[in-house]
Amino acid sequence: MNGILSPKVLNLLVFNLTVVALLTLVFFVSKNLLKIYLEKRHKVIGYKFKTKIVAIFVVITLIPSALLFIIAGGFISTYIDQWLSPQVRVPIENAYKIATILYDREKERTLQEAGRVLKGGTPPANFKATKIKTLSGDASETIRNAFKGKEGTEVISTPEGDIIRAVIPVKKGGKVRGILVVEQVLPVDIVMQAETIRKAHEDFFTLYQWKFPLKVNYLLALGFFTLLIVFTALWVSIKISGNITDPIQKLASATETVSKGNLDVTVDLKRDDEIGLLIDSFNRMVRDLKESKASLHNAYLDADRRRVCLENIVENIDSGVISLDEMRRVITINTTASRILNIDPLEVIGMEYTRLLKFIESEELQSFIKEIRLWEFTSAQRQFKVGIGGKNLTLCVFITQLKDRDNKSLGVLVVFEDITDILQAQQALAWQEVARRIAHEIKNPLTPIKLSTERMLR
């Protein structure tokens, strides 16, 4: 019974352990594969690299593992077939038959000796004869049958060897008056050899009955270790790829945060490899950007204060100021300029300077502009008589080019001033001087004659 149950128990034990171990591996691997699938679905950075690493590891381990499984499985199947082949079965069966025949012969011999002793003969030296008249309570089945008139034999195993017992009923007057028991003890070496043959025969045929389950059992164990290698490689590949892509994901997230203008970000991950060097470089770059941004912000504030100051100066001077960019478009025009030219600044800001000329009537100015367009000028200054809004004005215009440190043109600055009132005042003063001199001449008519006579005498 134990020989029949042992393969069953072993097979179930190995099968259950295999299933539990495989399910554990499948759980962890499936969990990580699901994570990769979700990362792929949500387009998480690094999922392509993870997929490639996992695929490479699986291919590298699956191909040799599959070949090993096929070859080893063939060897196992062939070995079991040879182990339980007829060439092995026939000698075991013959040995078992010989041992069985030996015991059967000894039983027959003991029964014959019992019959001879019952007839008054003397048992041989290795035989022991005993008469029993009453049936005891612990008697064996053979002895009980003998008291019922049926002879028989039995084998009793003892530490000294097997006892072959023959039992014959002793009848008198047609009734059983007792029994005769004749026993012989087989030597221990013969018993041990017979027991070895019997055990080998029992084990062989037990295994022969379990030939297919035995193959399946070994193939399951082999398959378990094969899948163990594959899933272990898969798990290792997932961990290796994650060890690479997780820092990259953090760097990508931090980079996206930085791209949105938030420089208060740091990747807190300590590594002593190239990825750690990359993380340190990123953190250092963010710190430098933060410092540069602060410097640029301070410079911007300083430049903005200067710009506001300059705009206030330009707005409050009495001269008209107009600036043009390198494409000769109007970018600034102060209040004095818009007042002198009688225009709305919003109508010309961003327009070409020719838009301004539509408000000014002056052939002299038109000719001057055509001249300076034909030659590279640095600065020019001239007075022009112009007509603006039905008024005749005299403008003193100063034009200069704006250049950077590399002598690249940045635009043109035009500064002009309405000097009409100044000229009129100068003309009034001149006429007053002329009138004064004429009046003086009229009051002193001899003076010029006297002066002329003096010149002639010289």
Q: Which of 5-14, 332-341, 386-395 has the lowest mean pLDDT?
A: 5-14
Task: Dig out the tokens for 413 from the structure.
Answer: 């600055």
- The CATH superfamily holding the domain 317-418 is PAS domain (3.30.450.20)
In one-letter notation, the amino acid at residue 102 is L
> Interior CA angle at 278 toward 296 and 263, to 5°?
30
pTM for the full predicted model: 0.45
Residue 331 CA: distances (Å) to CA of 77, 410, 412: 93, 12, 10
- Each residue's pLDDT tens digit, 391-434: 888 888 888 888 877 888 788 888 888 888 777 777 667 666 66
Annotated domain spans of the chain: 2-87+210-251, 263-315, 317-418
pLDDT the model gives residue 3 = 45
CB contact set of 36 (below 8 Å; sequence gap of 6+) = 47, 50, 51, 54, 238
Residue 5: which pLDDT band, with cuts at 50, 70 and 90?
very low
Distance separating alpha carbons of residues 327 and 410, to the nearest angstrom: 9
Which of 374 and 48 is assigned the larger pLDDT? 48
Distance separating alpha carbons of residues 292 and 410, to the nearest angstrom: 26
**Residue 165 near residue 155 (C-beta atoms within 8 A):** yes
- Each residue's pLDDT tens digit, 267-309: 887 777 787 888 888 888 888 888 888 888 888 888 888 888 8
